Structure 1
Amino acid sequence: MTRRLNWTIAIVLLLFAVPYYWLLLDNRPGDAQAKPVSIAQLRQLADSLPGPHPASVEMELIGWRRLPGNLLAAGSGLKRRLIGIMAFRLPVPGGRAIVIDSGITRQDADAMGLEARLAERQDKVDQAMNQAGLILITHEHPDHIGGLIAWAGRDSFTKAALNGPQKIEVGNQLHVPVAGAEKTVTGQPYAIAPGVVVIPAPSHTPGSQMYFVRLASGREYLFTGDIATMDVSWRELRARSQLAGSVIAPEDRREVYAWLKTIRALAAADPGLVVVPGHDTGAILAVDRPTGIRNGFNLSQIKAPTH
């Protein structure tokens, strides 16, 4: 009887425990090394272009769902976390604002199983993109680039600074041929506007890139996109689970860990750096750890879009 019970337990472990561990708990970072990106380098680039730096950071929460922490940060627990779909706006004194990420369409929200998608908030993001001087996208997934694709169907892409993979995704969605676009983003960090630096970081997707922002006040932010989906992702070096990052939406896991280590190294070098995760609305609006990010776009000076 005991022998049979032992075999039964062993079989159950093999059939359920081992797959469960690999799919949701496996968080081996391997030997990937942090990238050679420094705070000093990013600050020098941020100050290299003439003109006013952004004055502040605003966030618009467009929709959300709740998922187990283990899914988006392997081994972080079964507790369901609020996963926000967000866009950000950087007002520029005397100039046009900068928008980072663009929200999501109703069709994509339904496909992703969002609990809520607030159309009036997406309208505010559309208005912000209409007024913006520059639109930046962290990566080419529909909950980050989808709003831009829908909005751009009625306008041009002249103000959207897209890299090769992002252009390819837009072309695929709009059925527009894209010539000469690289299939992965490469290169060193570079300034794209006063106070704003692009950090090419192919990992979560071929077109993933982060943004370092140095405000006029000197406060600094790092927008990670889904390289660090949650705050715990970079603090504890927890990539997405194998289920999410290898099965559902495959990513370069080794490179994700390398960039998570880079984010943590940058935060260690600059304790005042505010790391902005791709979907952790709770961390962004935390009262006990203020980020200085305003909840909601201030569009009092923006006219409604004319298209």
Structure 2
Amino acid sequence: MIYVWTGLALVGIAATLITFRSFRPAPLPAPAQWTDPLPTASPPADLAIYQLPTGTYENRALFAYRGGAFRDVRKFAATAVLVRHPAGDLLIDAGFGADVEAHIATLPSYRRTPHELGATIRDQLRSTNYDMTSLRGVIITHAHWDHVSGLAELDVPIWMNEAESRYVERAKDAAVFRDVASRREIHHYTFDGPPYLGFPGSHDVYGDGSVVIVEAGGHTDGSVVVFVSLPDGRRFAFIGDLTWQLEGVTLRAERPRMLQILADVRPARVRDSLLQIIALTDRMHVVPAHDIHAYDPIPRWTSSNRRHL
């Protein structure tokens, strides 16, 4: 018995050391920057994007990326992005909804961190007399609760690919999505386009290159990156949860190993996609979904933006 106990103790000590080390800085190798021409895009002159913050929740940088500090308590964004296009508007993710307290209550207790609620997407749009018939749907980067809670108040199709449909059928972390989606139409799209900026498949939403969804599974089975090209030449990459904070890109810092195990379906795939995004940082602005400051270049939606397209 003493030998068994000693063996288990050694295993426990080794596991603790490995876990501790996984929080230390360990930058990924720097990928070669993308030097090929960017894909052709012809966005209409009046295409625009806006951020709609719906609230925040707290987390420590220690748990967000390797090298983060325990004392660095951050507000993680729950923000949607409205894409205004003459062929119909789209949202990227949906943020917190009116039932977010109930959605948070479904989480394990260790994941219920302090949070602040803002106005929902529906309330923000209604307060500016936005024409809801202009909204074609919501592209979800993936089906976790903090990206889909606000879908409950939006009577529009949810844009989702086949791999994410399979994920939501089985994953515990998709319980909130299953609840809100049971009352919504699902618009299934496929990656029917060519490889795009190093990603294996793509879907050109409007056919003009202005909004292109690429396959980037790994965080969930069908998680995606959404690339947006603006008329002034600026490009944005909305990367969902490939990394939770910009340091994942600027410092090439993955999630700590323990968090990879808890959060990612295929951590190696997340790493590959993150490196591909890092290779593009000189060519476009990268927006991790939960980094508040990543949204700074995007204007907020206000009543002055509600022009008819």
Q: How does the TM-score come out when normalised to structure 1?
A: 0.72
Residue 103 of structure 1 and its aligned partner are, at CA, apart by: 1.0
In 1, the alpha carbon distance for the partners of 2:34 and 2:161 equals 20
Give TM-score, length-normalised by structure 2.
0.71
Amino acid at match of 1:162: M
Rounded Cα–Cα distance in structure 1 between residues aligned with 2:136 and 2:233: 22
3-state SS, counterpart of residue 70 of structure 1: helix
Distance 1:54 1:27 in 2: 43
d(CA) in 2 for partners of 1:139 and 1:16? 31
CA 1:75–1:301: 2 relative to 1, 3 Å: closer
Equivalent in the alignment of 1:83: 76
State whether residues 202 and 209 of structure 1, in contact with CA within 8 Å, keep that contact through their aligned partners in structure 2.
yes
- 1:267 paired to 2:269: no
**Structure-2 change in CA distance of 1:156 and 1:90 (3 Å):** closer
Q: Distance in 2 between matches of 1:120 and 1:232?
A: 28
CA shift at 1:196, angstroms?
Answer: 0.8
Distance 1:121 1:238 in 2: 32
Q: Which amino acid aligns with 2:227?
A: F
Of the three residues 34, 37, 40, the one matched with 1:40 is: 37
How far apart are 1:208 and its partner, in Å?
0.7
Q: Is the 8 A contact 2:135 2:156 kept in 1?
A: no
Say whether 1:123 aligns with 2:125.
no
2:161 pairs, out of 145, 163, 173, with 163
Residue aligning to 2:6: none
Q: Does 1:141 align with 2:144?
A: yes
In the other structure, the counterpart of 2:292 is 281
How far off is 1:98 after superposition?
2.3
- The verdict on how the C-alpha distance between 1:151 and 1:259 changes in structure 2, with shifts beyond 3 A counting, is same
Say if 1:102 and 1:125, in contact at 8 Å, map to a contact too.
no
2:57 match: 65
Aligned to 2:242: 227
User: Take 1:39 and 1:298, find their aligned partners in 2: how far apart are those partners?
Assistant: 37
| Alpha-carbon displacement from aligned partner over 1:162-216 (angstroms, at most 9, x marks no partner) | 112444538833458999x89x999512311231111111111111110111101
Structure 1 residue 191 corresponds to structure 2 residue 196: no
Distance 2:82 2:218 in 1: 25
CA distance in 2, matches of 1:243, 1:16: 10
Decide whether aligned partners of structure 1 residues 36 and 146 sit closer, same or farther in structure 2, where only a CA change above 3 A counts.
farther
**Secondary structure of the residue that 1:206 maps to in structure 2?**
coil
Per the alignment, residue 90 of structure 2 pairs with 98
CA distance in 2, matches of 1:176, 1:284: 30
Structure 1 match to 2:270: 256
| Distance in 2 separating the partners of 1:226 and 1:126 | 25
Contact residue 25 and residue 253 of structure 2 kept, 8 A: no
Q: RMSD across aligned C-alpha pairs, in angstroms?
A: 4.1
What is the CA–CA distance in structure 2 between the aligned matches of 1:74 and 1:238, rounded to whole Å? 5
For 2:26 and 2:123, how far apart are their aligned partners in 1?
Answer: 38
Tell me the CA shift for residue 17 of structure 1. 5.4
**Cα deviation per residue 1:210-229 (whole Å; 9 max; x = unaligned)?**
01111011111111100022
Cα distance, 1:299–1:204 mapped onto 2, change above 3 Å: farther
Which of 21-30 and 66-75 deviates more?
21-30
Asked if 2 retains the 8 angstrom alpha-carbon contact of 1:54 and 1:214, the reply is: no
Higher helix share goes to which structure? 1
Would you say 1:172 and 2:196 are equivalent positions?
Answer: no
In the alignment, residue 256 of structure 1 is paired with which amino acid? V
Provide the aligned length of Structure 1 versus Structure 2: 271
